[in-house]
Amino acid sequence: MEPTPKGRDRGHRTVSAEEKTQARQVSLRRIGRLFTPHRPALAAVTAIIVISSIIAMATPFLLRAVIDRALPQGDVTLLVWLVLGMVAVAAVTSALGVVQTWISTQVGQRVMHRLRTDVFSHLQRQSLGFFTRTRTGEVQSRITNDIGGMQSVVTSTATAVAANLTTVVATTVAMVALSWQLSLVSLVVLPPAIWLTRRVARMRREITAQRQRELADLNVTVEEGLSISGVQLAKTLGTGPALIDRFTASSARLVDLELRSELAGRWRMASMSIIFAAVPAVIYLAAGLPGTAGTLSIGTLVAFTALQGGLFRPLMGLLNVGVSLTASLALFARIFEYLDLPVDVADPTEPVRLDPTRVRGHLRLEDVTFGYPGSDTAALAGITLDVPAGTSLALVGETGSGKSTLAGLISRLHDPSAGRITVDGVDLRDLRLADLAAIVGVVSQETYLLHTTVRENLRYARPEATDTEIEDAARAAQIHDLIAGLPDGYDTVVGSRGHRFSGGEKQRLAIARTLLRDPRILVLDEATSALDTETERAVQRAFDVLAQGRTTITIAHRLSTVRDADQIAVLDHGRIVEAGTHASLLNRNGRYATLAA
């Protein structure tokens, strides 16, 4: 979750001091714990790497024997055995490399899978408040761009460290065994290599953090500009060119960041290549100086320079791992930030088990108070209501009076700040969220349909529902005939967010979906407020079927839809100012009568 700084242009996002601190504070130990379940596999990979590196170190000694013994002496048999030894070393190390790659990639992908699923699962548990505070597209960017950017580090870091470190150590030991004097000369590359690597690592880390934020902005622009609602808004307001400019500017900044990141690595590689290329020349010079001339055989010199040349790749690989890991800390910081979000509405540690099929649906609100985070004014204060099983309650009042907030508390989208809400005497906070969802069904004004078939949209409510049960629910919701008349019937794709259907049709699909769940308590949150009169009557008939035998809470602006409710509560600024039946409230000539006028 990233707060939007005041005064920020929508196309560019500044970096807060808090975000920079978070990126610095990522614990390497915490990253290491991701690999804890895979210790046996990592141990096997390490063993393979060590064995492979030790075997590979035989090559320079075989080469020295070829140059110093087999060739000068014309010993063909020895030459053949030495050459076969070189081929065998290459074959064995290559085979071990394939096995090592298979195991390490498998471990890395499992860690990635765990990260993705952990973030997705944790975000599923977040309250609506989190999603209202978070920019559209930001969540998707974290799961796709940030975790995707970590893939190479997660997949190859552990094995790269083991492989390169083992190779560097084995190569160094072999170099010392050949000539400790020349080994000292070779060490001149280490100080500049380490200094350059640290500089590049710091640059890459800052650039990576900026790049991921820019990718999130780009994702937000795509989500807002290319969704059905976004496209409609852009076309009706003529803001298409401005959206294109915003997307272009964000993409251009990404190009600049990618160039800076790549160039930071290239000039380091160029500098190190020059240094490593100069070392063999220094070795030849040292071998030919008067004080050392004749002390080394040609074979030793050739084998040593081959080893020294082979040291470049693993040493740079080891240093590159440090660069990549340091740069990836910015990505881990963004992922861990989401994983560390507190869960406002969570399952109880010791839930009360209620069988949804045996729940009567007696709903009580006892002195309920609730305030949104950051607000000094309570959205609801001292709400007490008793709704017996099978009866109906209507909530009316002006916009902002707290009706939808109260509905959200009943379906536990939020928890009360004080007081409690019970079903059959059990506090909602003592129920598992899955059990509560089976007990309380919600139909709101904004019906959300998935981009799939009608059948799968309805089955989403109850995956085990049969085709017959789906069609029966559609008939009860008075939408079956319309669906059956479509070219593909129940296999018709509804389109993005259900835009293929009208508002009334989507509402009846939502009713059919709720019927499949068969909840004992039904919350209708202004479900007909956006419909014309004729469509509203058709939907209301479906609601009448849906409400039979259930405890029903109806929120409506049009009082004609709630006049038959068993009780009506009038809300004003989060408080109940009147309660009673339609007739009794009219006779009082109070707030309800004013609304009905």
* E strands present in 275-379: 363-370
Residue 5 pLDDT > 80: no
Q: What's the CA gap between 565 and 301, in Å, rounded?
A: 98
**What pLDDT score does 16 carry?**
45
Quickly state the pLDDT bin for 342 (edges 50, 70, 90): confident
**What pLDDT score does 9 carry?**
38
Quickly state the pLDDT bin for 45 (edges 50, 70, 90): confident
**What pLDDT score does 161 carry?**
67
Contact yes or no for 145/215 (Cβ under 8 A): yes
**For a pLDDT cut of 70, what percent of the chain falls above it?**
75
**What pLDDT score does 446 carry?**
77
Residue 386 main-chain phi, psi, to 5 deg: -130, 115
In this predicted model, what pLDDT tens digit does every residue of 549-560 receive, in sequence order? 889 998 877 777
**What pLDDT score does 7 carry?**
37
The token pair that represents 381 in the structure block: 């204060």
For the chain, the C-alpha Rg in angstroms (whole number) is 35
In this predicted model, what pLDDT tens digit does every residue of 488-524 receive, in sequence order? 899 988 876 666 787 778 888 888 888 888 889 989 8
Q: Three-state DSSP class for 101?
A: helix
What is the average pLDDT across 43-72? 82
Q: What's the CA gap between 380 and 235, in Å, rounded?
A: 39
In this predicted model, what pLDDT tens digit does every residue of 191-232 receive, in sequence order? 776 676 667 766 777 777 777 777 777 777 777 666 666 666
Contact yes or no for 41/74 (Cβ under 8 A): no
In this predicted model, what pLDDT tens digit does every residue of 24-33 receive, in sequence order? 456 778 888 8
Q: CB atoms < 10 A from the CB of 245, how many? A: 11
Contact yes or no for 229/497 (Cβ under 8 A): yes
Run of H or E residues at 252: helix 240-288
The token pair that represents 157 in the structure block: 């870091």
Please name the amino acid found at residue 219.
Answer: N
Q: Which of 337, 42, 281, 313 is nearest to 164 (CA)?
A: 313
What is the average pLDDT across 365-394? 90
**What pLDDT score does 6 carry?**
37
Run of H or E residues at 235: helix 228-237
Q: Which residue has the higher pLDDT, 432 or 154?
A: 432
Q: What's the CA gap between 377 and 539, in Å, rounded?
A: 36
Q: Which of 280, 494, 76 is nearest to 288 (CA)?
A: 280
Of 231-235, 306-310, 380-384, which has the strongest mean pLDDT?
380-384
In this predicted model, what pLDDT tens digit does every residue of 123-152 receive, in sequence order? 888 877 788 778 767 787 788 777 777 776
**What pLDDT score does 388 carry?**
94
Residue-range domains of the chain with CATH: 17-339 (1.20.1560.10), 363-596 (3.40.50.300)
Q: Which of 89, 80, 20 is nearest to 334 (CA)?
A: 20
**What pLDDT score does 268 carry?**
61
Q: Which residue has the higher pLDDT, 254 or 417?
A: 417
**What pLDDT score does 395 carry?**
92
The token pair that represents 337 in the structure block: 């930030």
Q: Three-state DSSP class for 106?
A: helix
Q: How many alpha carbons lie under 13 Å from residue 414 in its C-beta half-sphere?
A: 22
Mean pLDDT of the chain: 79
Q: Which residue has the higher pLDDT, 65 or 264?
A: 65
